[in-house]
Amino acid sequence: QVIRCRAAVAWAPGKPLSVEEVEVAPPKAGEVRIKIVATGICHSDEHALKGSLSNVEFPVIPGHEGAGIVESIGEGVTSVKPGDKVIPLCVPQCGKCSFCLNPESNFCQKSHIYEPQNLLPDKTSRFTCKGKQIHHFMWISTFAEYTVVPEYSVAKIDAAAPLDKVCLFGCGFSTGYGAAINTAKTTQEEHCISTILNTSTRHANKPLLVSHSNPLILKSRKSLTRDCHQYWSLSPDPHCNTTLPKQPSSHYSCFCFLLFLGWKMRECIPKLVSSYLEKKFNSDLLITHTLPLAKVNEGFELLRAGKR
């Protein structure tokens, strides 16, 4: 049956989110309906709100860094069941395409790189509000109390996992951690800065610039770039024979395009959650504020200001 719940809806680009009552339709075949317990705010959501992402259609429910509990499943779903703790995935893993079958790739052909994810795969939405269709974001729309996603965009995780802590494994933590250990191949003794660059076809003809206004990032960059100079060099990508000059903060010369930094998400997210439970790392330090859904716009203001 249809569930009525709250969701943060972006009605138009450049406008604040509006917390509305929405209707969430039941899952169809191959789909999973999830009760979202917690979600992070990612800068990609900020790009979506600004209208900077060419494949986002309004009105839309953003959010892609969530965790929750399976409420119901559609016909044919076998990997999860009602009551399971799960993380919805912003990068799917169908397990059948040539990229999923390639051990060196995580670019599933069902990802947003290849097809828009503003509607579910059958080209319909499960969200309505005030009689209007509301678009999905990356298929998962975690700024809603309930959401519907394809089965291949869901990872079942350990039942002991605290959902308010591991929600950021859906993007933020895993992307930065993956950049360090999967791409840069850093060791335990090394330090690195992971910078996420957002580009879109709208801006493809413009120069690409890296700039940070977040004071937390600026502080880290100032500290770490003291270790980057021409004589005992560092390369942003170990596969590029590029050294950073004496003023590295003004030179960025080597890029490697990656999607979710090398993780095959349905396989790797549960393993990361298990590692968290085993205290192999402390990702809790990345959580600076906890707010109710009603204060979602305040959360974005904190993100923009870089406040702890």
- How far is Cα 244 from Cα 282, in angstroms, rounded to an integer? 30
Burial class (CB in 10 A: 0-12, 13-18, 19+), 250: exposed
* DSSP assignment letter at 69: E
Cβ contact 271:155 at 8 Å? no
Q: Which residue has the tokens 């990508």?
A: 237
- How far is Cα 214 from Cα 12, in angstroms, rounded to an integer? 26
- How far is Cα 190 from Cα 204, in angstroms, rounded to an integer? 34
Token code pair at residue 302: 């904190």
- How far is Cα 41 from Cα 20, in angstroms, rounded to an integer? 18
DSSP string, 133-188: EEB-STTT--SBSEEEEEGGGEEE--TT--HHHHGGGGTHHHHHHHIIIIIS---T
Which are the contacts of 64, defined by CB distance < 8 A and separation ≥ 6?
42, 44, 45, 88, 90, 137, 138, 140, 141, 142, 170, 171
- How far is Cα 171 from Cα 66, in angstroms, rounded to an integer? 9
Helix axes 43-50, 296-305, angle to 10 degrees: 110
Which are the contacts of 167, defined by CB distance < 8 A and separation ≥ 6?
37, 38, 39, 40, 65, 66, 67, 87, 142
Q: Residue 221 belongs to what H/E stretch?
A: helix 215-224
Residues noted as catalytic: 42, 44, 47, 64, 171
